[in-house]
Structures are given as C-alpha cells and as structure tokens.
Structure 1
Amino acid sequence: MPDHPDTVLTPSASAAGVAITPTSASARPRGRRRRRPLTRAGSLGLNVLSAVAGILIWWTLAKVGFNLPTPAAVAKQAGHLLADGTLEQDAMASLRRVLIGFCLGCAVAVPVGFLMGWYPVARALIEPWVQFFRTIPPLALIPLAVVLFGIDETPKIIVIFLAAFLACVIAAFQGVVSIDRTLINAARVLGAGDLTIFRRVVIPASMPYILVGMRIGLGSSWATVVAAELIAAQEGLGHRMQSAELYYDLPTIFVGIITIGILGLLMDRVLLMAERRLTVWQERR
C-alpha cells in the first residue's frame, strides 16, 4: 500500500514498476470552481424574471413611441377573443393541424432514418430524395398543395408533415450512424440478432438525436401551419392574424403571436420531459 493517502495507482504503472506520482489537494489545479447545477426552483424563478423583464421592455417601447400596442391592450383584446370563443376555436384548429402533421411526420421519419443508417442500400436509395426535399422550404410547396388538394385540411397537414419529417429523419439517421460500433459488436458476440440489437442498443442510443430532431421539427411545424393558414384557411391563428392585418388590428395580431409562442413552448416542454425519461441512462453534466 502506498504511504501517501492520495497516491493514485494505475494498473499499467504498478505492473511495470514505474514510479508513481502522488496527487494531493495542493497539486490539483486551482482557480477552477465546479459550477453548481441550477435547482428547479431557481430555474423557474429565472424564467419568471425573464418574462417580467420582457413585458417591461415591451411596455417601455410602446410608451416611448414605437408603433406597438401596450401589454394591457393586448390582454384586453385576448379577453374579448376568449369571451366570444374565437381565440379558443382558432387555437384548437391550429393545434390540431400541428399535432396531426407533426405526429405523422415523426412516425414515418424514425423508421426511415433507421433504415438509412442501418442498411447502406436503403441509404443510397432514400438519402438523395431526402436531401433534395430538404433544400426546398415546405412553405414553397403550399401553393402546389393547394392546387392539388384544395383548401381543406389536407394541404395544410401535408406541408406540416414534410416539415416535421425532414427535420426528424436526418436526426434519426445521424443517431444510428453515431452509435459506437463496439456496442454493436459486443451485442453480436453475445449472440444478439438484428431485432435485439435494434431494440436494446440502436433505439436507446439514438433516442437523444431523435428527440432533438423532434424539437426542431416542432418549430418547423408551427412556422408552416401559420404560413399555410395565411394562404388558405377559414379558421386558425394564422387566418385570424391575416384578417386583423386588413384592419390594422395590432392587438389581435399580438394575441395570435403570443398564443402560438405559448402553445409551442408548452409542447417543447413536453418533449423535454420525455427526453429526461427516455434518456435517464445518459450521463448528465
């Protein structure tokens, strides 16, 4: 046993008889403090402080002459829209479109990304089309979708589907190709087949990538649905904002913007909660 209490023994050093250097508290680098993780209460307090500061800046800009409605005017208009059911109807219409298109896009993107990452033939066949459509903004496909499918729900859901799919499929593909091959080889040595490797190795290791892609796809879905509702819709937050623009109704426009931001933020937080549960095995720093 070493005499110094803080002596560090390495297997290679002890086996070769190499002199071992003691490490002590005095020998450790100074000047670096380990950052304490932010508690949940502290994080929530900072969130509230940030929101209050943003509202104060908004109110100040409105008072000093910027062409903005005050927070009080926007809150009053939101109350009117809630009272007559307009805001609830529009929010539910937009939320329904986003959920359908987003869920369908992610449900298709994950297996396609797995196929691209696992089978070289599938990658060679599918990746050129994925990269081709990635260069085309989903918003550019809205006129084509309207011409082909009319102005009902189908074209809106199709463009939202494409926005979510293109964001998530690349993330799933990247998750598969980034897996340490040592894990896969070890599973094969232990007798695991492709199905077991997919279930026990590929899916858990790819989950952080997939969830990041889903969060990106969620933002793209909301941007797409608003643009689609601006072009062809009879209800929805985008349609309400376009109608308010014709009458220069700034409070209603702000109500629509804030509602979209709140709904998107809540959905993103749900994905974050799912990420914490599904990647509990991952080392946190």
Structure 2
Amino acid sequence: MTVITAPEKKSAQPPGRRGGRSAARSLVLGLVALVFGLVVWALASRGVEHLPGPAGVATEAGRMISDGMLFDDALASLRRVFTGFALGVVLAVPVGFLMGWYPVARGLIEPYIQFFRTIPPLALIPLAIVLMGIGETPKIFVIFLAAFMSCVVAAFQGVVDVDRTLINAARVLGASDRTIFLKVVIPASTPFILVGMRIGLGSCWATVVAAELIGAQEGLGYRMQNASTYYLMSQIFVALIAIGVLGLVMDRLLLRAERRLTNWQERR
C-alpha cells in the first residue's frame, strides 16, 4: 500500500532574503532617527542661547579635521581606551573563571571584587595621580579598573549560571574537568563575558574623559576642557560627537563578535 505524505511546507522567504530585509529596515530606521535628531537639535539651537546648531558644529568639525587636531585627539583617547580595556578584559576573564569554578578562590577574591566595584574609578584618579604621576600610567590604570570590574563580574556570573545538567551529562560520558571547562563552561559563559565587555567599554569611555581632564596634553576629554575655558561650544560638541561615534563603532564590533561567537543561541 502506498502512503501519500503531505508535501513539506517551505518557508515563504529564504533566510538570506529575510536577513537582508531586516538589515535594510534597521538602516532605514537608523537614518530616520538621525534626521529626526538633527531636526530637533536645529530647532533647539534657535531657542536656547549659546547652543550651537548642526551647521556650526559641522563647520567646526571640518576645521578641526583639516588642522589634524580632531584626528590627534581621537587617536590619543582611542589608544588609552583600547589599552586599558584590553588589559582589563585579559585579566578579568581568568579571574572570573577562577572565582566561578573554585569555591575557595571565590571566597578569597569575591569580597575584594565587590568592595572595589562599589568605588567609582573616577574617585581613584587623584590617588592614581599622586602614586603614579601625571603621565599615561594613571589614565590607563583607571580605565583598566573600569573594564576589569565589569568583565570580572560578568565572567564569574557566566560560570556560575552554567546549566549543571550539561556538566553532569559530560561527567557521565567520561569527560575530564579540563574537557568540561573547555567544551561546556567556556562556550556557555561567552555571552555573559561579551555583555560584560560591552558594559565595560562604555565605562572606559566615561572614565577616559574624566582622566584626560587632569594632566593631559591631548585627547577628546582634554579638548573639551580646553574649549570650555575659552567658551568654544562648537568644539565641545565636536568632541562629544567624536566620543559617541567611536564608542558606537567599538560597541557594534563587539556586537558582531557576539553574534558570531554565540550563533548557537536562539534569538528573537
């Protein structure tokens, strides 16, 4: 007897086309939001005294770019942020894994992490300057702390939240602790670590601006302070926008890395 099966229903749209339409829609919405923001800014500049409009800020940005000033300041701030952020992440991930995997290490290290996590890195700037001078070291140190505190908690929480069923199943199948850690714990903790990195990156940019207000000769934070001394509002806005653009680009790069490294997760 022949069994007739119903034909399988095919998706109306291939995944590639759906992804392309989603990207195009996101781009369109982003452009609409940008235009709306510029219109609101232009209208606000007409009603608020001393608030520069988009045209004036664009003119000032062009002048700073042609002079090389904006490039030098952005490069100095980016170098400090990247150095402190990289050092913080490199140290935070193994410390977080150590705390999450070994209860003894957790009991010894976690009180210090929780104590220093409640102290803003900005509050340590005067102490860092006294102990390390006014060079690059104290600036990178406080940026390092901002990244470290966010990432170490995320890595620790990622290890703690690993599904015990997966670990027990791996043990039943004869996997060693090393194999379980490499094949189960690290992949399951990766989303937590990447979220902590994104949070730490925002803290790094907030910290570098404050760090450059003291003892710096270049950088976007230094440029803002110098411009405020001479009441150059357009220059302040250029530095603010540059910080936002650099931070957004770095965040999007981390987000893309997160999607590639965690493509096994279900997404909405």
TM-score normalised according to structure 2 size: 0.91
Q: Which letter does structure 2 place at the counterpart of 1:93?
A: A
CA contact (8 A) 2:50 2:233 kept: no
Shift of 1:64: 2.2
| Structure 2 unpaired stretches of 5+ | 1-17
Partner of 1:12: none
CA RMSD across the alignment: 1.3
Partner of 1:109: 92
**CA distance in structure 2 between the partners assigned to 1:256 and 1:265 by the alignment:** 14
Q: Which letter does structure 2 place at the counterpart of 1:121?
A: V
Partner of 2:13: none
What is the correspondence of 1:237-252 to structure 2 with a 5 Å cutoff?
237-252=220-235
Partner of 2:212: 229
SS of 2:37 mapped into structure 1: helix
**CA distance in structure 1 between the partners assigned to 2:67 and 2:116 by the alignment:** 41
SS of 2:50 mapped into structure 1: coil
Identify which of 199, 204, 216 aligns with 2:182.
Answer: 199
Partner of 1:47: 30
Identify which of 73, 77, 88 aligns with 2:56.
Answer: 73
Identify which of 169, 174, 177 aligns with 1:186.
Answer: 169
Q: Which letter does structure 2 place at the counterpart of 1:75?
A: A
2:150 aligned with 1:167: yes
Partner of 1:153: 136
Deviations 1:43-96 (A, max 9, x none): 111011101110110000001234310111101111111111110000000000
Partner of 2:255: 272
Partner of 1:219: 202
SS of 2:107 mapped into structure 1: helix
**CA distance in structure 2 between the partners assigned to 1:82 and 1:280 by the alignment:** 39
CA contact (8 A) 2:57 2:237 kept: yes
Identity over aligned residues, as a percent? 69
Q: Which letter does structure 2 place at the counterpart of 1:84?
A: D
Shift of 1:199: 1.0
2:82 aligned with 1:99: yes
Deviations 1:191-239 (A, max 9, x none): 1112111111011101111010000000000000000001221110000
Q: Indicate the structure whose relative CO is greater, using CA pairs within 8 Å and at least 6 residues apart.
A: 2
2:111 aligned with 1:131: no
| Structure 1 unpaired stretches of 5+ | 1-35
Shift of 1:264: 0.1
Number of residue pairs aligned between Structure 1 and Structure 2 = 251
